[in-house]
Structure 1
């Protein structure tokens, strides 16, 4: 996997949602990035259809306790790696958020799993080539 990106995407929560949308629209726009996905309470910025940086409305319940969580998604090489990530995290005492599954609301072949790390951050492993049934 050397030469490929380790981080698939990451996101932050924003207390002033309207100001944050304006800010990131403009500062990322001058760098050549734009909104790739907008789901109302979260916006993904990037290029070529890949939202690599997300902002979320902190007032919409995207916060774990007093810590304003960060979301980081690590790129996985296959669906089995997503499953291994999830099982390893649980064995280490991580809080499960979403077990491995397809997420068609993101795209047809988005296969990911989510846990909360020891500091309360939302950590994900994602594979963009579909779930284990893709080989069937």
Structure 2
């Protein structure tokens, strides 16, 4: 059901030190890192794939920062159905369903906001690039 989960951190360096240390005790390591021009970054932890992500958030989000939750989908059609169902309920689309080769070659996902403003995704890891 759950593919991966992510939280936003006020101090990514402090959070990285914390999660590098505590997750190592559970056998997990830092597996992937992304950064952008604005100094935002994301770090993925896991054992075989990044299941838990931390990222820097914008200072203007206030105390209730959004979280990211990705649900597993069996195929691209299900990802599209997930987004269509959310839109039918009035959800904002963050990213239309598509391939995300920057994540990996077979990553197909669609992202929406839930009623509380969280970034919710459906993702399939078995879709060949178009």
**Do the two structures share a fold, i.e. TM-score over 0.5?**
yes
Q: Is 1:51 paired with 2:57?
A: no
Q: What do residues 51-85 of structure 1 show as CA deviations (whole Å, max 9, x unaligned)?
A: 00000012478x5x663001000000111100000
Contact 1:101 1:131 in 2 (8 A): no
Query: 4+ residue stretches of structure 1 with deviation over 3 A?
Result: none
In the comparison of the two structures, how many residue pairs are matched? 125
Contact 1:101 1:111 in 2 (8 A): yes
| TM-score, normalization by structure 1 | 0.86
Query: Structure 2 unaligned runs (5+)?
Result: 36-40
The one of 99, 118, 121 aligned to 1:121? 118
Alignment match, 1:36: 31
Q: What do residues 36-57 of structure 1 show as CA deviations (whole Å, max 9, x unaligned)?
A: 1111300000012x10000001
Q: What do residues 74-117 of structure 1 show as CA deviations (whole Å, max 9, x unaligned)?
A: 00011110000000000000011001000000000000000011
| TM-score, normalization by structure 2 | 0.90
Question: 2: distance between equivalents of 1:101 and 1:114?
Answer: 10
Query: Structure 1 unaligned runs (5+)?
Result: 1-5
Q: How does 1:46-85 map to 2 (within 5 A)?
A: 46-48=46-48, 50-59=49-58, 63=61, 67-85=64-82
Match of 2:50, SS state, is strand
Contact 2:10 2:56 in 1 (8 A): yes
Match of 2:95, SS state, is strand
The one of 19, 36, 42 aligned to 2:14? 19
Q: CA RMSD, aligned part only?
A: 1.7
Question: 2: distance between equivalents of 1:28 and 1:20?
Answer: 11
